[in-house]
């Protein structure tokens, strides 16, 4: 039981970096999935946690008895984050590279369900290790299956691509067959919400429920609807580009994978931007909306978080 408790707390520990959010949205984006998710620092975190947890659970063998399970639990957390598209700084603090395999949506019901079934089976057959092994094998196989679906989504995007464009595919909720594919150039993105196996559109009626609402927008491949979003705006792209390149938005240029212009306000004095990577149909609102404002042409740009209109200029 002591090792189970140590593994549980160690596996959750990397997300203690949520405290960076108390310093503001910029600090959160710059630090979330940073040093606490670093493979380089994993041995150090495992040492500190195993020492602390050994004191808390009163492990007779001391920190050495818990070090292995603690290190493995932290590693599993990092691996679980790597399969999403958010990005994880596995080489922090020496690099801010943010790899993300992108096979799995941030909240995947099938992925979570496999874990829950494995835990229940392990609790029932607690004298055997086979339920846990079987659960892990099924989980890894499921992620491998998702990888093959991402490749299929990229193949579909490639058929729509033109010379000089790049393609991307983002996993979406409810089904491993739901994807948003992107074809992008220096000025704009074209994207489509697709389902890789659906033969007919799935109709949604009010009252069908949340799952149906977030699942229905994904169209069969032969009925894909391509939407165009510019990076800097249609009316005055030069102004949008100037706002996007404001010094204070450097953190968002580093973070955003599919950045897009999201309108102006205050008579053109403010320009807003989003990351289409997080544009999930059926979801209310879009996270991570930032922009730059200035009082008049030629004045310095000030950077704001859109939801609070708080000045976050650095």
DSSP states of 145-176: HHHHHHHHHHHHHHHH--TT-EEEEEE-SS-T
For 237, other C-beta atoms within 10 Å of its C-beta total: 16
pLDDT at 297: 86
pLDDT attached to residue 312:
82
- Residue 174 covered by a domain: yes
Q: Which residues pair with 189 in a beta bridge?
A: 184, 229
User: Do 220 and 244 belong to one domain?
Assistant: no
**pLDDT at residue 199, as a whole number:** 95
Last residue of a domain, one of 101, 135, 167: 101
198 located within any domain: yes
CA distances from 79 to 3, 37, 72, 141, 198 (A): 20, 9, 10, 14, 30
Q: Which of 101, 124, 158 is the last residue of a domain?
A: 101
The verdict on residue 109 lying in a domain is: no
Q: What pLDDT is stored for residue 204 in this prediction? A: 86
The residues pairing with 180 across neighbouring beta strands, listed in sequence order, are 170, 193
Measured CA to CA in angstroms, residue 174 lies from 104, 178, 211, 218, 300 at distances of 11, 7, 7, 11, 44
**In DSSP terms, which residues pair with 182 in a beta bridge?**
168, 191
Which pLDDT score, from 0 to 100, does residue 29 have? 94
The tokens for 313 are 């200029």
Residue 135 lies inside a defined structural domain of this protein:
no
Domain count for the chain: 3
Q: Tell me, what's the pLDDT at 314? A: 62
Work out the burial of residue 265: count CB atoms within 10 Å of its CB; fewer than 13 is exposed, 13-18 middle, 19 or more buried: middle
**pLDDT of res. 145:** 98
Retrieve residue 307's tokens: 């939801």
Contact 248, 313 (CB under 8 A): yes
pLDDT by residue for the chain (314 residues), tens only, comes to 788 888 899 999 999 999 999 999 999 999 999 999 999 999 999 999 999 999 998 888 999 999 999 999 999 999 999 999 999 999 999 999 999 999 999 999 999 999 999 999 999 998 899 999 999 999 999 999 999 999 999 999 999 999 999 999 999 999 999 999 999 999 999 999 999 999 999 988 888 888 999 999 999 999 999 999 999 999 899 999 999 999 999 999 999 999 999 999 998 899 999 999 999 998 878 899 999 999 988 899 999 999 888 888 76
Which pair of tokens denotes residue 237?
Answer: 């792209």
Is 134 inside any structural domain?
no
pLDDT (0 to 100) of residue 265:
93
Residues 300 and 246 in one domain: yes
Q: How many CA atoms lie within 13 A of 254 on its CB side?
A: 15
Whether residue 161 is contained in a domain is answered as yes
Shared domain for 185 and 247, answered yes or no, is no
Give dist(CA 205, CA 213) in Å, integer. Answer: 8
Residue 311 is predicted with a pLDDT of 80
Contact in structure between 86 and 106 (CB atoms under 8 Å): yes
Domain span holding position 291: 237-311
Same structural domain, 252 and 286: yes
State whether 217 and 250 are in the same domain: no
Judge whether 117 lies within some domain. no
């Amino acid at each position: 039981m002591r090792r189970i408790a140590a593994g549980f707390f160690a596996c959750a520990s990397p997300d203690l970096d949520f405290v960076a959010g108390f310093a503001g949205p910029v600090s959160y984006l710059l630090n979330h999935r940073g040093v606490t998710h670093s493979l380089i620092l994993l041995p150090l975190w495992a040492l500190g946690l195993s020492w602390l947890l050994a004191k808390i659970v009163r492990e007779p063998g001391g920190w050495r008895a818990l070090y292995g399970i603690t290190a493995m639990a932290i590693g599993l957390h990092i691996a679980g984050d790597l399969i999403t598209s958010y990005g994880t700084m596995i080489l922090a603090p020496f690099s801010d590279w943010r790899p993300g395999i992108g096979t799995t949506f941030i909240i995947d019901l099938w992925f979570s369900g496999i874990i829950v079934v494995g835990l229940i089976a392990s609790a029932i057959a607690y004298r055997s290790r086979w339920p846990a092994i079987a659960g892990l094998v099924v989980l890894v196989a499921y992620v491998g299956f998702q990888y093959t679906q991402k490749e299929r989504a990229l193949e579909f995007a490639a058929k729509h691509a033109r010379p000089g464009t790049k393609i991307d595919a983002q996993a979406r909720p409810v089904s491993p067959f739901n994807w948003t594919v992107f074809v992008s150039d220096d000025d704009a993105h074209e994207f489509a919400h697709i389902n890789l196996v659906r033969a007919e559109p799935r109709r949604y009626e009010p009252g069908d429920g949340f799952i149906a609402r977030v699942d229905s927008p994904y169209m069969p491949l032969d009925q894909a609807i391509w939407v165009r979003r510019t990076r800097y705006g249609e009316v005055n792209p030069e102004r949008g580009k100037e706002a996007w390149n404001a010094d204070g938005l450097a953190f968002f240029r580093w973070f955003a994978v599919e950045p897009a212009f999201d309108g102006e306000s205050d008579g053109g004095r403010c320009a807003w931007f989003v990351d289409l990577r997080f544009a999930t149909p059926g979801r209310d609102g879009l996270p991570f909306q930032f922009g730059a404002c200035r009082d008049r042409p030629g004045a310095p740009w000030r950077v704001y978080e859109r939801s609070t209109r708080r000045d976050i200029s650095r």
